[in-house]
Structure 1
Amino acid sequence: MMDAALNQSTIVALGGGGFSMSESGTSAIDDYLLELATTVRDKRSTEAHHRRGGRGASVLPRVCFVPTASGDNPDYIHRFEAAFDGRAETHVLSMFGQSPWGYQDPKMLQDMDLIYVGGGSTANLLTLWRDHGVDDIMALAASRGTILAGISAGANCWFEASSTDSFGPLAPLSDGLGLIPGSACPHYHGEPGRAETFRTWIEAGQLPGPGLAIDDHAAVVFENFRATSVIAEKSEAHAYIVDERGETRLDRDVT
């Protein structure tokens, strides 16, 4: 069960984008995530040195990619490692024991500054995480200041419910971790049917509102489980609040 007493967290939900949708592997949203992670790492390093009576030293942030939703697709993992090479100490949590990464105890997530969850099947991700206790570990890591971020299924998972194609056709899924209230829809204007079905499900009460719809190349930043800003790496990318009255586009910063 999730701990309702969590009192601090930063979660970044990407509708799509980041290194996984970049031909060059570069991404302004990923750069932003690294800035957040570096701040966390610097703070932790300074506090550790102060406890030992020394001075804080600048070190690379620890970033773990969690590709559960893609079945630990090796190409996806290699894209992550290439995108963050030299900019972070990279780690991979493989729930499938993929070589060369192998199965690791999910408790390793507690040592990360940024946990970056990949896209794929939201339903499969949630099932495996619960079987391995990853859901509780994620919540604990967030409560201790680790940044949580995710693309598509990796964004859906933090909400109570979401729009997913985990079962083939788009369908409502009321089985999220519930760290963030309401429901989510990634790829809002990027994939056929996403916008229309999400609005219909919200209006009919099949998904809890208000809903958060996020375009590819846009991300919503949550502080203490409340949306505080929208960032985008393309001018046409936006995020929207969707309720029974329709959709409202949120203000954003273009990075």
Structure 2
Amino acid sequence: MPAEQPTILATSGGLRSGRRTFVEFGKLIHFALDLSGVEGRRPRLCHVGTAGGDQRHMNANMAEAGMVAGVDVSILNLFTMPPTDDLEDFVLSHDVVWVGGGSVANLLAVWEVHGLGAVFRKAWEAGVVLSGVSAGSICWHAGGATDSFGPDLRIVTNGLGFLPYGNGVHYDSEETRRPKIHEAVAAGVLPTTYCTDDGVGLLYRGTELVEAVTERQGSGAYVVVREDSSATAQEEKLDTRLL
């Protein structure tokens, strides 16, 4: 049963340390699974680790976390080759796509080679919930701030653009993120930009932000807009619901 309408949950969280495994699914991943509307069977989650270089240990960690959570986890590796000739059928056979963190610049370049942007758009329109953390959050937007090129943040503007906004991640844990986002929005390099502290997710139905949620008490979400008359950026904190 697909989500009732195109749904994206863009986050700065999702995983936690496990009791008997290295990681477990946190409340944000469970929320993404709930959004898919699955009933009467085990949910199917597709883990995409392109941004981290398709690390086999992370694939194993995600599969193990899925076993603990009662979720069937499939892995979409692109290194050294995709698992199938029909990526569209593979992706659309899942309820949730979870994209891990890492280099969003490399992720976007590799996805373009394999035509995954069009595949994910079809999946999104068909009701597969698109989700992820960090690079896996920025990718669905027009762009955002990234350390893909080095420790000094740069702005990418070639995101998939399903959501016509900028995106800022790790807003509270990396001190250079906020000023870089403000600079980019003020200059018009990024459009209106939604940002998340660690542990926070942004829920979009279609292209509309409907709520911000958090798995961590006290963490917040924000919107940064350009004030045209003064060419400055203005930030507003958003209401955030604790999961």
**1:140 counterpart residue number:** 122
The reply to whether residue 204 of structure 1 matches residue 174 of structure 2 is no
Post-superposition CA distance 1:12-50 (Å, at most 9, x none): 000x2211xx2223411122122223x1x33xxxxxxxx
CA drift of 1:225 comes to 1.5
CA drift of 1:197 comes to 1.1
CA drift of 1:97 comes to 3.4
Contact 2:200 2:215 in 1 (8 A): yes
The DSSP-based 3-state class of the residue aligned with 1:180 is coil
CA drift of 1:89 comes to 1.3
CA drift of 1:237 comes to 1.2
Separation in 2 of the partners of 1:90 and 1:201? 37
**2:100 counterpart residue number:** 118
Separation in 1 of the partners of 2:57 and 2:174? 22
> Any residues of structure 2 matched to 1:8-47 within 5 Å, and which?
8-14=5-11, 16-19=12-15, 22-24=16-18, 25-26=23-24, 27-37=26-36, 39=37, 41-42=38-39
- Unaligned segments of structure 1, at least 5 residues: 1-6, 43-57
Contact 1:64 1:115 in 2 (8 A): yes
The DSSP-based 3-state class of the residue aligned with 2:164 is strand
> Any residues of structure 2 matched to 1:18-167 within 5 Å, and which?
18-19=14-15, 22-24=16-18, 25-26=23-24, 27-37=26-36, 39=37, 41-42=38-39, 58-86=40-68, 87-97=70-80, 103-105=83-85, 106-107=87-88, 108-167=90-149
Contact 1:94 1:104 in 2 (8 A): no
* Amino acid corresponding to residue 97 of structure 2 in structure 1: I
Separation in 1 of the partners of 2:30 and 2:127? 19
The DSSP-based 3-state class of the residue aligned with 1:253 is strand
CA drift of 1:78 comes to 2.0
Separation in 1 of the partners of 2:142 and 2:5? 18
Q: Could you state the TM-score of these two structures normalised by the residue count of structure 1?
A: 0.84
Contact 1:93 1:104 in 2 (8 A): no
Number of equivalences: 225
Structure with a larger share of its residues in helix: 1
> Any residues of structure 2 matched to 1:216-227 within 5 Å, and which?
216-227=198-209
Separation in 1 of the partners of 2:58 and 2:174? 20
Separation in 2 of the partners of 1:104 and 1:214? 34
The DSSP-based 3-state class of the residue aligned with 1:159 is coil
The reply to whether residue 233 of structure 1 matches residue 215 of structure 2 is yes
- Unaligned segments of structure 2, at least 5 residues: 227-232
How high is the sequence identity, in percent, across the aligned residues? 31
